[in-house]
Amino acid sequence: MPQVLVKVENLKKHFPVQKSLMERLLTRKLEYVKAVDGVDFEINSGEIFSLVGESGCGKTTVGMLILRLLEPTNGRIIFKGRDITHLKGEELRALRREMQVVFQDPYASLNPRMKIGKAIAHPLEIHNIAEENERKELVLDMLEKVGLTPAEKFYNSYPHQLSGGQRQRVVIARAMILKPSFIVADEAVSMIDVSIRTSILELMLRLKNEFNCTYLFITHDLAIAKYISDKIAVMYLGKIVEKSNKKNFFSNPMHPYSKALLSAVPTPKPKVKKKRMIIGEISSAAAVPKGCRFHPRCQYAKEICKKEEPKLIEVEKNHFVACHLCQSS
């Protein structure tokens, strides 16, 4: 049986809506943006688990909650069989060594005044790993591994002297230098030129195998998810509406939202493919619709969809869907 590395149970993050003093006096009612509103999934050791969906659906918030960069409103986060939901202080600091992140914007996530070698070595300093000379050797070796050669040249460079793709390789090197068991890759290739995305993805796959780590891969691009994932979960307005292994998801998508997302993926013969258009705009996470969250945009919505929120149910082996239409068929 595969070993579960990360498990989240009923995970929630509600952000209070900021109001003016006058609004608070008049309404006296607290309102919340339900960024993540009851998410459950497991990631097995060695897997690449992709969270996909439109911007604002809560994907990044899930990643930040698992990394404990945000405090959850409710739910549990289990890592290697240990509940880390409320870890603090030295225990949380020690956990950072095993959980790292690759952010979307490589330039914003690097200190512009810190040389590349120093940036990559910084995690080693924080966790007091190796002496200074040894750290430099470890950094030079990692620069070679991520394809930044000659390593000495990049070691003494600043972020502004590198291209976007090179900066993302630096961010990946910084995440990998601690040899973590879990990486959150948050839109890791979305700000990189299309021409070099594949090379970055191949690098991430190679490092995953070399260091035996596990990825939570956050993306809005289903083509990338198809290339890199083992399992896929689709999020909409703070909830998972469908999750499955890659093969089942792409061969038999069930939720209307998943079908609409897949229909939007460009194909070599677009006239052959029937488009499933999504109606209207995504609802606000501060005013979640009653019933199914997707029903205001779903062309197949029935009366039950407007009244009762569907549960995420296994409709076929290892294929879970939150949709009344799928569950009644």
Q: Which residue in the block uniquely carries the two structure tokens 């998943």?
A: 258
Q: Write out the chain's pLDDT in tens, 329 residues.
A: 779 999 999 999 999 887 776 666 677 777 889 999 999 999 999 999 999 998 889 999 999 999 999 999 999 999 999 999 999 999 999 999 999 999 989 889 999 999 999 999 999 999 999 888 899 999 999 999 999 999 999 999 999 999 989 999 999 999 999 999 999 999 998 888 888 889 999 999 999 999 999 999 999 999 999 999 999 999 999 999 999 999 999 999 999 999 988 887 777 666 655 555 677 788 888 889 999 999 999 988 899 999 999 999 999 999 999 999 887 65
pLDDT score for 213: 95
The yes/no answer on whether domain 4-98+180-328 falls in CATH 3.30.420.40 is no
> What SS3 class is residue 83?
strand
pLDDT score for 303: 92
CA angle 179, 183, 189 (to 5 degrees): 115
pLDDT score for 263: 84
CA-closest candidate to residue 167, choices 130, 114, 126: 114
Rounded to whole angstroms, the Cα distance separating 79 from 94 reads: 13
Cα torsion through 164, 169, 172, 178, rounded to 10: -140
CA within 13 Å, CB half, 178: 23
Exposed, middle or buried, 98 (CB in 10 Å: 0-12/13-18/19+)? middle
Exposed, middle or buried, 200 (CB in 10 Å: 0-12/13-18/19+)? buried
Structural contact between residues 238 and 211, judged by C-beta atoms closer than 8 angstroms = no
- Which tokens in the block code for residue 186? 């948050």
Q: State which amino acid sits at residue 235.
A: M
pLDDT score for 257: 93
pLDDT score for 91: 93
pLDDT score for 195: 83
